[in-house]
């Protein structure tokens, strides 16, 4: 691929819609072309700034809660759909309630869409193992790190927790692009959603939804959201170790 190809295909690359051969060729060009890698990173950053500007005011989640509950009620009609859809919707509803409670207790709002999206994403992509184009090779992961402005040292630093990086991809939480990193040890998996710190840093938060434990923190240049179905104590220890490593 040349620079013009990168420009024409960048939208498909961002959305994860490129076929595997094209994705590898795209990644290879980014790895060897600093100008294109910078352009891709600027596209992500401009998108994130726009979304942050539009979401500057604290979100009113009442409408979200109502839509979630109506969806749950409708899906009860079908046992098949109930089994496949409602767990994710119920998790989102529980997260909205948990975040609203935390906000009332601790002041500065946390965007509930970020935690709800993280819980849903972890459930679908990690627990249920829905087909996704994960990157498992270190060089492929380095390409999307570079495009996101994430330091490879920050990604590898989390392995000092004792959990090893298994795979990575780009996803969106609350409409903002994050790197979805999966770390594992002894069959236990943690999703770490990482991005470069924005103007609105994530306040340190811990909550749960059903069997899922969630946390968020900002450390240095990095902000991260963590989701796992590990016990609460194990999640808390991972968060402490992750913050210390960064």
For the segment 148-181, what is each residue's pLDDT rounded down to a tens digit?
A: 889 999 999 999 999 999 999 998 888 788 999 9
How many helices and strands (H and E) does the chain possess? Answer: 9, 6
What is the reported pLDDT for 31?
Answer: 86
| Gyration radius of the chain over CA positions | 18
Banded model confidence at residue 108, pLDDT cuts 50, 70, 90: very low
Region 184-199: mean pLDDT is: 90
Main-chain dihedrals φ then ψ at residue 16, nearest 5 degrees = 75, 25
Give the domains, in start order, of the chain with CATH numbers: 3-54 (no CATH), 62-245 (3.30.200.100)
Backbone angle region of 131, left / alpha / beta, with phi > 0 → left and psi within -120 to 50 → alpha: beta
CB 246 within 8 A of CB 157: yes
Which has more confidence, 99 or 45? 45
CB 112 within 8 A of CB 61: yes
The pTM of the full predicted model, rounded to 2 decimals, is 0.63
Banded model confidence at residue 113, pLDDT cuts 50, 70, 90: confident
Burial annotation 69-94 (CB, 10 A radius, 16+ → b, else e): eebbeebeeeeeeeeeebbbbbbbbb
Region 212-216: mean pLDDT is: 91
- Which of 32-36, 68-72, 101-105 comes out lowest in average pLDDT? 101-105
pLDDT, tens digit (0-9, with 9 covering 90-100), for 57-80: 445 555 555 665 666 566 555 554
Tell me what the pLDDT averaged over the chain comes to. 79
What is the reported pLDDT for 182?
Answer: 97
What is the reported pLDDT for 14?
Answer: 74
With 80 as the cut, is the pLDDT of residue 82 above it?
no
């Amino acid at each position: 691929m040349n620079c013009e190809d990168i420009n024409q295909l960048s939208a498909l690359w961002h959305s994860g819609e490129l076929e595997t051969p094209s994705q590898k060729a795209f990644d290879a060009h980014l790895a060897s072309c600093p100008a294109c890698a910078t352009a891709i990173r600027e596209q992500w950053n401009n998108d994130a700034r726009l979304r942050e500007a539009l979401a500057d005011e604290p979100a009113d989640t009442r409408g979200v809660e109502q839509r979630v509950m109506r969806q749950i009620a409708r899906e009860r009609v079908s046992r098949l759909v109930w089994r496949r859809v409602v767990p994710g919707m119920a998790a989102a509803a529980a997260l909205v309630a948990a975040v609203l409670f935390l906000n009332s207790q601790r002041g500065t709002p946390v965007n509930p869409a970020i935690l709800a999206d993280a819980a849903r994403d972890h459930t679908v992509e990690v627990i249920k193992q829905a087909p996704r184009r994960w990157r498992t090779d270190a060089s492929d992961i380095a390409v999307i790190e570079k495009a996101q402005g994430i330091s490879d040292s920050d990604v590898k630093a989390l392995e000092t927790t004792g959990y090893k990086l298994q795979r990575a991809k780009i996803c969106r939480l609350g409409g903002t692009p994050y790197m979805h990193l999966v770390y594992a040890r002894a069959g236990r998996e943690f999703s770490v959603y990482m991005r470069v710190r924005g103007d609105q840093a994530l306040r340190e938060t811990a909550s749960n939804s059903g069997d899922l434990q969630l946390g968020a923190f900002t450390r240095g240049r990095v902000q991260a959201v963590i989701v796992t179905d590990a016990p609460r104590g194990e999640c808390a220890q991972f968060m402490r170790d992750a913050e210390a490593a960064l």
